Structure 1
Amino acid sequence: MHDTFHGHGMPPEHPPFDIEGIDPLSREVLHALRSTLMLQKRLMMKLLAAHDTHPAQTLCLGVLAHRDGMSQSQIADLMHVTRPTVTAMLQRLESAGVVERRPDSIDQRVTRVYLTRAGHKHAEQARKVQREAVDISLGWMKESERAELARLLNLMNDRIRSALADDAVGEDTGAPRTGGKGTS
């Protein structure tokens, strides 16, 4: 049993905050999502620490294991990070001997990134760690529960993507926002 705030089941590492106009259940859902993301990140960091690997490096190794020989800009785009971030990460991975960078055979301006033999071993170990994290996080759920969770999160993601694509979102028109109640 863990301590909770205000009986909402929130773990103590994420104290609740009040946002005027947000109903308690929506606030609890947002807290639960935030806690899940933070705890999942901490779990991955704990599992990867034994292998001296950072989660972002694991993602990069996974990307290359799936499609070796990508350009640095392709890696940055797939990981949703900046090119300088990928450059710094690749420098560390190259120093560790798990990747190597080579000029493109056709366009010498492009640098391609390849896993080394050690990199393939690290990528496989990273996949094992990811499988362990998934099993800890979701393995206890029934298939129907995982399907329902995926369905709800995908609906939420679709709605957020639409809002991000909508130029009018974020403009303060003074009008109340619609869609406050869940729709299915």
Structure 2
Amino acid sequence: MVPYHYAERKRELSPTRPAIRNDGSGSEPAVEPVAATRHRDVRLGFLIHDVSRMRRSAFDRLMRPLGVTRAQWWVIAHLSRQDGMTQIQLADIMDVGKASLGTIVDRLETAGLVERRPDPVDGRAKRVFMTRKSRQLLKTMQDFERVFNARILRRLSDAERNALVRMLSLIRADLVGFAEEGTGSGPGRPAGGEPRPRSRRRR
């Protein structure tokens, strides 16, 4: 199967053919509005996915000289917003397993970037805190990120950036709602998530 962006690029480079009508003149039928809408929405989905993937990859390369992995700087970023979270909270926010999160925190603690402390209420739980070293690292990361964002957003005006934030926030809110539905809707299920009754086959 040809990747979508390659097919899209090939279509953009191919010479434009004259529009054809269904009147027997030998021209191709014009694109149906429904088909055009479907094509646009599919393309939008691929663009969102590609932009997210490419941004993560580029930012990983940017952070590499600092000696931290994506997962490690992601932990530091979350702790900068809410320091002292438990490992379970961090695992839930990052959508990773508890064991995987524990390994990440182990490496950060060995590097002196985080500190574990017992929970004052639940002695079995451990809370994770930033250190002076990780706060200094965070400042460097933020400086790098400002330069990075200025580069990749330079063609968008402030108004366009604000509009993009609003639109992506709407999409994210719907995705959160979709995830909270559990089963969601899909083939064989209506919007409420209840399965449609199956028709009985005649024997």
TM-score, normalised with respect to structure 1: 0.74
What's 1:181 paired with?
A: none
1:84 to 99, 105, 114: 99
Structure 1 position 98, deviation (Å): 1.0
Give the letter for the 1:148 counterpart: A
**Structure 1: any 5+ residue segments left out of the alignment?**
9-19, 175-184
1:150 to 161, 165, 169: 165
Give a deviation string over 1:77-101, Cα, whole Å, max 9, x none: 2323222221011011112111121
Secondary structure, aligned partner of 1:23:
helix
Structure with more contact order per residue of length (Cα contacts < 8 Å, sep ≥ 6): 1
- Cα–Cα, structure 1 residues 67 and 168, in superposed 2: closer, same or farther, change >3 Å? closer
Instruction: Report the count of equivalent residues.
Output: 162
What's 1:108 paired with?
A: 123
1:39 to 42, 51, 54: 54
Secondary structure, aligned partner of 2:117:
strand
**Distance across 1 between alignment mates of 2:49 and 2:71:** 19
**Structure 2: any 5+ residue segments left out of the alignment?**
1-7, 14-34, 191-203
What's 1:14 paired with?
A: none
**Distance across 1 between alignment mates of 2:164 and 2:113:** 36
Is residue 2:169 matched to residue 1:164? no
RMSD: 2.8
> Which deviates more, 149-158 or 57-66?
149-158
Contact persistence 1:61–1:122 (CA under 8 A)? no
Larger radius of gyration: 2
Structure 1 position 51, deviation (Å): 0.8
Give a deviation string over 1:36-90, Cα, whole Å, max 9, x none: 0111011111110111111221121122223322211122223232222210110
What's 1:6 paired with?
A: 11
TM-score, normalised with respect to structure 2: 0.68
**Distance across 2 between alignment mates of 1:101 and 1:173:** 46
